[in-house]
Homo-oligomer: A and B are copies of this chain.
Amino acid sequence: MSILVVGSVAFDDIASPSGSVKHILGGAATYFSLAASYFSPVRVVAVVGEDFGPAEEEVFRKHNIDTRGLERATGKTFAWGGSYTDNLNEAKTTYTDLNVFEKFQPRIPAEYEDTEFLFLANIQPTLQADVRGKMKSVRLTGCDTMNYWIQRTPQELAATLKLVDVLLINDTETKMLAKESNLPRAAQKVMAMGPQALVIKHGEYGATIFFREGAFGIGRHPFRAPALPIDEVKDPTGAGDSFAGGFMGYLASQEELNREVLKRALFYGGVMGSFAVERFGTERLQSLTREEIDARFQVFRELTHLE
């Protein structure tokens, strides 16, 4: 099945303890698309500026990512600069130039309207809801958001969450959204806002998926997937979007959507996140094979499974 992702495409300047890079291709939709492309056909809706050229386009094309939804606008592509110090879990933003992204109004090409899997990357919640509204054949909607929207546009976000099947956010965002410091209780409150399942990303500690009672079949418990202990995290940028790409990409490749499939998807999310951080930007995500991905899936299994 195809996946449609709507989100940002950007040029990033990144500095970490491992080095620094300038003007590399980034953005949530980019990381997501590349990660998901190893599992399912991907269609992207985003806006880029005049500085987005054939070299960047080729990155998508090489992974069979459908770019008919990539709108070319007058001006520059969204640009972001960030640095990481010892705490690799948190980027310090040095600048954000929204550029063409500031007035982004997602347009869905007619050829995309039959897409069955939808991922709403982190953009303004009303735009997310609009996109969801236009898609008539969607079987499962995944969604990301951030502290900015939780604090500034709570009502708009609440309306969007009613349309979402699986929300993927981190610990801090979950607690902020639920106004509750205990994570399992916060998870219940967030699911009461709409999502059937909630994936909470714990950074270097992995991720937990909580299910609403009865959602995706039966079962009592949440489920945890690990992150891989990595000797050198070169660049954490895009780890969450790559996680979402692996997660959604795997789901879209499966016939049935039940809890066992969602658990495996959580593992694949962790796998794609672990690859993403090994190199700067999307470098590692551009050069993978499905064999490498499945070998790492096996490593994740060995990391957590008793005999």
Chain B residues whose CB sits within 8 angstroms of the CB of A185 once the complex forms: 231-232
Contact B304 A231 (CB under 8 A): no
Chain A interface, number of residues (Cβ within 8 angstroms):
38
In A5-57, the 8 Å CB interface with B consists of none
Chain B residues whose CB sits within 8 angstroms of the CB of A208 once the complex forms: 229
Contact A221 B302 (CB under 8 A): yes
Contact A306 B231 (CB under 8 A): no
From B183, B205, B305, contact of A304 by CB (8 A): B305
Contact B306 A260 (CB under 8 A): yes
Chain B residues whose CB sits within 8 angstroms of the CB of A181 once the complex forms: 86-87
The winner among A299, A303, A306 for most chain B CB atoms within 10 A is A306
Given contacts A182-B231, A208-B229, contact A305 B305 (CB under 8 A): yes
Contact A304 B304 (CB under 8 A): yes
Q: How far does the alpha carbon of A135 sit from the alpha carbon of B204 in the complex, in Å?
A: 39
Can you give 13 contacting A-B residue pairs, CB < 8 Å? Answer: A182-B231, A183-B204, A184-B230, A187-B229, A205-B206, A206-B224, A210-B229, A221-B299, A222-B229, A223-B304, A224-B226, A224-B303, A226-B304
